Amino acid sequence: MRKDTPACPSYRIRAVESTYPAEPQPLRPGCERMSPRHQSFEMGLPPFRGAVRQIILFSTAVYIALLLMLAFAPGLGQTAFAVGTLQPEKVLHGWLWQLVTYPFMYADPIAFLLSLVGIYFIGSPVESQIGSQRFYGLFFGSLIVAGAVGVALSRTGVIAQGTAVGSGAAADAILMVFYLLNRGAMIMLFPIPIQVPIKWVVVGIAAIETAYLLLFHFALQFCVVLLGLGAGYLWYMLFLRRGVSINLSERLYGLRNSYYRWKRRRAAKKFQVYMRKHDRNVYFDEYGNYKPPDDKRDDERGGWVN
């Protein structure tokens, strides 16, 4: 670099500092903006806050309560575990709450630790990009979708047999959304001192989970976990893309306005019937606006209404 050329500012982006949308940073003369492909995410310790914090604390509290019940009141603990575990035959007979409770049921402490660590490290930057409310939607929505598809597959009698526990499906969904929000980003997995493209992390985890799926003869547990990747992709396409979110909001407001117009027209018709009973005629236009008797502008639209 020449001495008269100013040093370029660092564009190394930490996962815990990512925002959505990112604010453009001023460039010094002689520097070129780096493309998103060169962004790097160090897996340091992200802030412990927001929806991620609430989910981890609640999961930990439930797991500790289950451990205490299994240790000091085995009957009660086993009953609570059975009621919360995802069991297809129970769900099909009305135990629909299992689609929401199974992510908080754990039998293996290692699985419990790995799931929550994944949610903590990957979930924090995702939440900072999409917000807490949509992160809650992603977490529970992906679990419900993956669990429901797993229950449907169990009806074949060949695959997706057994039970499912843990939030592995949600962790996979969050990882998929992280990839879709930061395509081509590089992450540094602590303590490995090398940067890995996020897409290869997704591929590697999918390959490992597929191997477990084959080893355990397509058990429901691993079907649901692997389905989490697909659920995350589906949730992103439906709710997290910016264009889709805007169109969805416009449709919701359009439906609300149509409902209010319908109520206005209905009230106008009722009022007309009431006034006819009292030998008076009143007129309303097609939008539900009152028209005075001397109003001759039949072809003009009435005043503004919802």
- In this predicted structure, what is the pLDDT of residue 282? 65
Q: Which two tokens stand for residue 199?
A: 């897409």
Contact 245, 239 (CB under 8 A): yes
* 196: enclosing H helix or E strand: strand 195-197
* Residue 196 near residue 189, CB atoms below 8 Å: yes
Predicted pLDDT of residue 246: 55
Q: What is the pLDDT, as a whole number, of residue 8?
A: 44
Q: What pLDDT score was predicted for residue 69?
A: 96
pLDDT of amino acid 293: 62
From CA 77, how far away is CA 170, in angstroms rounded? 24
The Cα–Cα gap between 189 and 187 comes to: 6
- Among 182, 166, 175, which Cα is nearest to 230's? 175
Per DSSP, 86 falls in state B
- The partner residues of 219 in beta bridges, in order of sequence, read 161
User: How many whole angstroms separate alpha carbon 211 and alpha carbon 231?
Assistant: 19
Which residue, among 105, 135, 137, 116, has the nearest Cα to 20 in the 3D structure? Answer: 135
pLDDT of residue 267: 79
- pLDDT score recorded for residue 48: 93
Are 82 and 89 contacting, i.e. CB atoms less than 8 angstroms apart? no
Interval 66-104: pLDDT, tens: 999 999 999 999 999 999 999 999 999 999 999 999 999
Give pLDDT < 70 ranges for the chain. 1-44, 190-191, 242-253, 272, 275, 278-306
**Does domain 42-240 bear CATH number 1.20.1540.10?**
yes
Nearest alpha carbon to residue 269 among 288, 296, 291:
288
Candidates 22, 27, 25; CA nearest to 185 is 22
Question: Would you list the domain boundaries of the chain?
Answer: 42-240, 250-291
pLDDT at 93: 96
